[in-house]
Amino acid sequence: MGAHRAQLLTAAPQGTAYDPGADAVVQAELAADAAAAAVREAGLREAARIAARADELQALRELGTLEQTEPRDGDEAVRGELTRRAGGYVQADVDGWLAHALAAHLGHYRDPAAREAAAGLLTPPVLVHAALLAELARLVPGADVGQLAFAARLATNETEAAGALAAFLTCARPEGC
């Protein structure tokens, strides 16, 4: 910026005062700084939102009421925060909760666009678990989540095989693949 200002002052008539408000380069730099600050602030607000939701889901998990809670937009990022904080023992519970919600179209997963977006935000085992749950629920409509706990183990330990099973069950329906 200093070289630019020197060029402006050299080219200006004698006695002209430098006005940063009229300097397009300075104004562009100020606008870029303001935009960068707004992006940083938005990032901080989003991190705070994720942390608060992670606290909420962790408390619900500890109370044993996580399964009664519907997921919200952004809970996929909260999953990552919970995993970072507490590791795998929380991840399995949250993954199962998200898979069930995705399979049953609960919360924001009622929206097909949210389900489609989840495909890019959740891990393959969670997505396969959801697909397997959805197909098993079609086969045995009255089955509860506890009866289908094996689906989580299959999806986690044998993701590819569980995905193939979900696809096979989809094709076994009268309407087919």
Is residue 3 situated within a structural domain?
no
Q: Smallest Cα–Cα separation from 132: which of 152, 113, 157?
A: 152
Is residue 177 situated within a structural domain?
no
Question: Residue 149 pLDDT > 80, yes or no?
Answer: yes
Q: What is the pLDDT of residue 48?
A: 94
Take residue 116 and report the two structure tokens written for it: 């489609």
Question: Residue 25 pLDDT > 90, yes or no?
Answer: no
Question: Residue 72 pLDDT > 60, yes or no?
Answer: yes
Is residue 10 situated within a structural domain?
no
What pTM value is reported for the model? 0.72
Is residue 14 situated within a structural domain?
no
Question: Residue 96 pLDDT > 70, yes or no?
Answer: yes
- Of the candidate ranges 9-13, 45-49, 81-85, 128-132, the one whose mean pLDDT is the lowest: 9-13
Is residue 79 situated within a structural domain?
yes
Domain that holds residue 42: 23-172
Question: Residue 10 pLDDT > 80, yes or no?
Answer: no
Is residue 50 situated within a structural domain?
yes
Is residue 43 situated within a structural domain?
yes
Indicate the number of domains in the chain. 1
Could you give the angle at the alpha carbon of 154 between the alpha carbons of 150 and 160, nearest 5°?
A: 155
Is residue 4 situated within a structural domain?
no
Q: What is the pLDDT of residue 9?
A: 55
